[in-house]
Structure 1
Amino acid sequence: MAFAPNFPPVEPHICVNGGLEAIAFYEKAFGAENTFKQLAEDGKRILHANLSLFGGSIMLHDEFPEYKNQGGENDVMSPNTRGGASVALNINLNKPADVDAAVERAVRAGATLIMPIEDTFWNARYGRIRDPFGHVWAFNAALEAPAGE
C-alpha cells in the first residue's frame, strides 16, 4: 500500500476548540510553523490547518458540532469537550537537555506539567505536558548507555 507523495505515512490530525488560538499556542510553545490554514465559512473556525513542528507535521481543525457521522453522532471532538485525551503525541528529541528545554518552553507558553521530567528506568529523559486544548505531549530523549554496556 502506497501513501500520498510529499506526505508522511502517519500524520496526527487533532481537533481543538479554538483553532486560531491553538495555532498561536503551538507556534509559541513548540516553535511550530503554520504551513497551511483554511477558515470555515463562518470565518472564525479552522476547517483545516497544517503545522510543521519537531521535524514532523500535524493537521488541525476546530470542532464542528453541527456535522454528524452516518450514525448521527459527533465523533470528532476536542479532548476538552470529551473530558480528556485518549492519546499522547510523543516527541523524540536528540539530547536529554532538549527534553528539559521543550517542556519548560511549553509550560511558559501555558501548558500544564502532568509528568515531571525525569531519567526513567527505560534509560530516557522523559516528561509530559497537557496543552490548553487538552492534548497530551510526551517528550523523550535517550540517555547515554551506562559504561560497560
Structure 2
Amino acid sequence: MTKSKVHPVPDGQTCFPYLSARSAAEAIEFYKRAFGAREDSRIPMPDGRIGHAELSIGRARFFLSDEYPELGAVSPETLGGSSAAVVVYVEDVDALVAQAAAAGATIDRPPQDKPFGDRAAWLRDPFGHRWSFASRIEDVSPEELQRRLSAV
C-alpha cells in the first residue's frame, strides 16, 4: 500500500495548538498585527464561519477556527477563561511584546530573565487565549539551574 503525502507536516513540529474564537477572521488579523503571524491557509464554510485556518509565527504553526459549539469547539470567551497556553520562541521577545501590546494584547507578565535561560513574557489576546513568548538568552545546565533555584 502506497501512502500519498496529502499535507506535509512542518519539519520538527508534530503537535499543533488548535484555537477557537468567536470571530476567527478577527483573530487572524490580530495575530498578524500583534505577533507577525502569517496566514498559510483558510477554509471558509457555507454558513460563513471559518472551518479551519493555519497560521505560523516564525517556525511555530497553529490552527484556528470559529466556534463550533455543536462539536465542542468553544473559545475562552465562551468558557470564561482558558486552562491552556501557547508557548512560542521568538528572536526578540521584547520587540514582540511591544508590538503585541500596541495591537491590543494584555501583558500579564512583562519580559524578564528566567533562571532556566529564557527571557519570557505572558500575554492574553483579545479572544481570551494565553500566550507565552520567549527568547533563549543562555544555555543553563541542570546543575546551574538547581543552584539558581536554591539561591532564591
Instruction: Specify if TM > 0.5.
Output: yes
Q: Tell me the distance in 1 between the aligned counterparts of 2:120 and 2:14.
A: 25
Aligned ranges for residues 76-91 of structure 1 at < 5 Å? 76-91=73-88
Amino acid at match of 1:119: D
Amino acid at match of 1:49: A
Q: Tell me the distance in 2 between the aligned counterparts of 1:10 and 1:144.
A: 25
Once the two structures are TM-superposed, the CA of residue 145 in structure 1 deviates from its matched residue by 5.7
Q: Is the 8 A contact 2:60 2:88 kept in 1?
A: no
Q: Tell me the distance in 2 between the aligned counterparts of 1:140 and 1:55.
A: 14
In structure 1, list runs of 5 or more residues that go unmatched.
69-74
When the two chains are superposed, the root-mean-square deviation of aligned CA atoms in Å is: 1.9
* TM-score normalised over the length of structure 2: 0.79
Aligned ranges for residues 1-149 of structure 1 at < 5 Å? 6-7=8-9, 8-43=13-48, 45-65=49-69, 67-68=70-71, 75-94=72-91, 98-144=92-138
1:29-77 deviation digits (Å, cap 9, x = unpaired): 111111111112222x211111122212111101122x24xxxxxx321
Aligned length: 133
Q: Tell me the distance in 1 between the aligned counterparts of 2:114 and 2:60.
A: 25
In structure 2, list runs of 5 or more residues that go unmatched.
145-152
